[in-house]
Structure 1
Amino acid sequence: MSIKVYGFWRSIASFRIRVALKLKALPFEEISIDILQGKQFEPGYDAVNPEHVVPTFIHDGHSLYQSLAIMEYLDDIKPTPRLLPDDVKERAYARSLALMTIADAHPLTVPRVRKHLAGSFGADAHAIEAWVTHWTVEGLAAYERFLERRKPAPFALGKEVGLADICIAGQVVGAQYVKVELDAYPLVKSISDRCFALPEFKSSRPFEQPDYKAAGGKH
């Protein structure tokens, strides 16, 4: 099984795919596309992904896009261990939790949005950081409210780590970028701590990636 992932160390969506592949014990090659330097717009990558984003997932020559679709595909090609529950209601709930960051919080903080804020509205670095912090906190708070109502343990849907936990951990990674502490979100922190105690999550951290280290550890 040949798997390639075009990703980037700082990309939270790439982090999600990295973790999912490692939980599935599927070997893969990651090719770095520096989205901070605009490499996603160069002709070579345009041929790979015309949306000009990462990650792009290639399995035996077949390309897929968007982290949620990729993670569900991984469940289809390797059903165990499951990322999504078998129960239809639980599966829908897991997707709901995943989409709180994938569809709501994270898209408002990505480089192309930050660039648009600066170019079209004259936002300076301080204003952009405040914007990113606001939407990061909104995502954390939403997760905390949902976890409070259900209070699962040790992971978001119970005993097994899965897709929802990957997405919550990704939201925490985003919080670390803007130095948002998790004290106000104890349930999120508890799940995050359990996730990052696992080698699949720990080794997928942005600052552990070869392209981050090759750049001299510069953010």
Structure 2
Amino acid sequence: MTRPVLYDYYRSSAAYRVRIALNMKGIDYDRVPVNLVEGAQKEAEYRARNPQGFVPMLEMGGMRLTQSLAIIDWLDTAAPEPRLIPADPAGRAHVMALALAIACDIHPLNNLRVLKYLSGPLGQDEGVRNAWYAHWIAEGFAALEAMAAPRAGRFLFGDTSTLADICLVPQMYNARRFDVPLDAYPTLVRADAEANRLDAFAAAHPDKVAPEAEAR
């Protein structure tokens, strides 16, 4: 496999997911930081590579892969071990539902461009912005706790980490950054703690890659 290049921002939840997945697969990669706060994702050179202007983007073998869940799904096909998405249909559907509850229902409402729109064109102050953030985290985590609890073990789905945990850990990191209370979600807190004990998760943490991300 050609050594991949990950276009990344250290606090991007979506990029954080892909860093975890690459680590879990044991795939070495190079990072190109794209500073979202400074607007590097909007520059013409980057837009020419990725018309959406988002991170992550994974380049390898002449391909440019975008959207974190699509990248992870590709990795699970190209490098099947360890599996991140269960092979059996019922398990796959459950893990995908947990992952999508985060990636599609929680994260998009609270990503940087939404927060910038709230504080910019809509003129909302930091208190309103933080209340917005906490509301959608709480609503999403309440549903996710109920969805996960019946089939959870050490992790969100049994005793093996999956795509669901890959999506959970960055979202828990963000919840703590914004001081969102987590006591009501014991299943999520337990799975997050277990996942962060794994080297693949720990090495992908924003604190591990922040200095590079600030280089641009």
Give TM class, smaller chain.
over 0.9
1:108 corresponding residue in structure 2: 109
Which position in structure 2 is the counterpart of 1:2? 3
Percent identity at matched positions?
Answer: 36
* Residue 160 (structure 1) aligned with residue 160 (structure 2): yes
Gaps of at least 5 residues in structure 1 are none
Alignment of 1:46-61 (within 5 A): 46-61=47-62
Counterpart residue identity of residue 176, structure 1: R
What letter matches 2:173 in structure 1?
Answer: V
SS in 1 for 2:105: helix
Equivalent residue, structure 1, for 2:40? 39
CA offset digits 1:74-96 (Å, max 9, x no partner):
01100110001110111111111
Aligned partner of 2:180 in structure 1 is 180
**2:99 aligns to what?**
98
- Measure, in 2, the Cα distance between the counterparts of 1:197 and 1:210: 20
Contact 1:24 1:80 (C-alpha < 8 Å) held by counterparts? yes
User: Can you give the 5+ residue segments of structure 2 that lack an aligned partner in the other structure?
Assistant: none
Please list, as runs of the form range in 1=range in 2, the aligned pairs for 1:16-35 lying within 5 A after superposition.
16-35=17-36
**TM-score, length of structure 1 as denominator length:** 0.93
User: Residue 214 of structure 1: CA displacement?
Assistant: 4.8
8 Å contact 1:136–1:174 — kept in the other structure?
A: no
What TM-score do the two structures reach when normalised by structure 2?
0.94
SS in 1 for 2:172: helix
2 CA distance for matches of 1:25 and 1:202? 14
Q: Deviations over 1:3-49 (max 9, x none)?
A: 01101011010110000000000111111000011110011111121
Q: Distance in 2 between matches of 1:142 and 1:68?
A: 20
- Greater displacement, 38-47 / 205-214: 205-214
Amino acid at match of 1:209: V
After superposition, give the CA deviation of every residue in 1:184-206 in whole Å (9 maximum; x if it has no partner). 21110000000001111111111
Q: Is the 2:134–2:175 contact (alpha carbons within 8 Å) kept by the matching residues of 1?
A: yes
Residue in structure 1 matched with residue 171 of structure 2 by the alignment: 171
Q: Secondary structure at the match of 1:31?
A: strand
Q: What does residue 72 of structure 1 align with? A: 73
How large is the Cα RMSD of the aligned pairs? Answer: 1.5
In structure 1, what is the equivalent of residue 128 of structure 2? Answer: 127
Q: Distance in 1 between matches of 2:62 and 2:180?
A: 40
Is the Cα–Cα contact under 8 Å of residues 9 and 34 in structure 2 kept in the other structure?
Answer: yes
Alpha-carbon separation, structure 2, partners of 1:213 and 1:82: 29
Which portions of structure 1, spanning 4 or more consecutive aligned residues, are displaced by more than 6 angstroms?
Answer: none
| Equivalent residues of 2:4, 2:28 under 8 A apart | yes
Letter of the structure 1 residue corresponding to residue 111 of structure 2: V
Is the contact between residue 33 and residue 213 of structure 2 (CA under 8 Å) also seen in structure 1?
A: no
Q: Report the equivalent of 1:82.
A: 83
Match of 1:198 in 2: 198
* Paired residue total: 214
Q: Deviations over 1:33-74 (max 9, x none)?
A: 000111100111111211111101112120111111010000
Question: Residue 209 of structure 1: SS of its match in structure 2?
Answer: helix
Secondary structure of the structure 1 residue equivalent to 2:157 = coil
Q: Which has the higher contact order (CA 8 A, sep 6+)?
A: 2
State the shift of 1:2 in Å: 1.9
Which amino acid counterpart does residue 196 of structure 1 have in structure 2?
A: N
